[in-house]
Amino acid sequence: MDQGQDSQDTFSQEDHQVAYIFDPDQDENTRHQRPSKRRRVAKGPKKGAKTADEPPLFVPLFNGAEKTDFVKLRQRKFEESWGLIDQRIQNILRESNSATLEEVTKFVASAETECAGQIPSAFVITGPNIASQDLLFQQLSESLQQSVGGKFVRLKSSEAVTLKAALKKTIREAMASVGDEENDDLQVGNSQDTRRYLDYDLEALEVYIRPLKCEHVFVAFQDSEGFDSSLLSDLITLFQ
């Protein structure tokens, strides 16, 4: 065994102490250094953004003899053709959800008088096709924000494992661009009266929507069967 291994296996007396004594006069070199704060770095370009020098996704034909310009041309023509087809598909899917959107809008309109003092809640049965749920919830967000003028938040069980994570997701999505995702606090208020809130404090959301005259914040549990029942109970209690 070499000396480097011996030095790693050597333990100091502090390793077996059950308590440590803080001495403010202790030499600075022997203190445990406070971990440095995480530096802010500039965010890179968005994942979906394309650059002019980006290589084509298509593989050159003729055993690689096809020129790069022709490969890019094939890819561009495909994207143009597929874009038209995809638009037709999306239009058909949007029309298929029109009945559901109409029913939800009617429920929201009648809930103000029928659910006084309670949180209006409804189940939307989407069926086994999980792939079509994203479009449906996107349409729900657009429809409710246009008809009622409220905020729409979508929660998934994978993103809201704990109560703190669920509140954080709800507040940040409702407040959209306010605050930095890397920080644990939010700055809310006008330039004269600005306060800092923890990013899971519902008071921050209340202060944010008050000047916007926003009366409703819609929270959709996309996969409600995946949420823990105790977590849902705690969320409902806090929302009320």
Which DSSP string corresponds to 175-215?
A: HTTSS-TTSSEEEEE-SSSEEEEETT-HHHHHHHHTTTT--
pTM (2 d.p.): 0.60
193 has pLDDT over 70: no
| Signed CA dihedral, 164, 167, 172, 178: sign only | negative
Q: pLDDT exceeding 70 applies to what percent of the chain?
A: 71
Q: Tell me, what's the pLDDT at 108?
A: 87
Supply 128's token pair. 């086994």
Most confident stretch, 36-50, 91-105, 181-195: 91-105
211 has pLDDT over 60: yes
Q: Which of the two residues, 157 and 45, has the higher pLDDT score?
A: 157
Q: Where are the alpha helices (DSSP H) in the chain?
A: 3-9, 61-64, 68-96, 98-114, 133-147, 163-175, 202-209, 229-239
For the stretch 75-102, pLDDT in tens is 999 999 999 999 998 888 888 888 888 8
Distance in angstroms (rounded) separating the CA atoms of residues 108 and 152: 13
Segment holding 155, helix H or strand E: strand 151-155
74 has pLDDT over 70: yes
170 exposure class (CB count in 10 Å sphere: 0-12, 13-18, 19+)? buried
Which neighbouring-strand residues pair with 155?
221
Backbone angles phi, psi at 67, to 5 degrees: -70, 155
Q: Tell me, what's the pLDDT at 23?
A: 59
Q: Tell me, what's the pLDDT at 40?
A: 54
Supply 130's token pair. 């999980």
> Which one-letter DSSP state was computed for residue 14?
G
Most confident stretch, 58-67, 141-150, 166-175: 166-175
Closest CA to 140 of 97, 172, 173: 97
140 has pLDDT over 70: yes
Q: pLDDT exceeding 90 applies to what percent of the chain?
A: 15
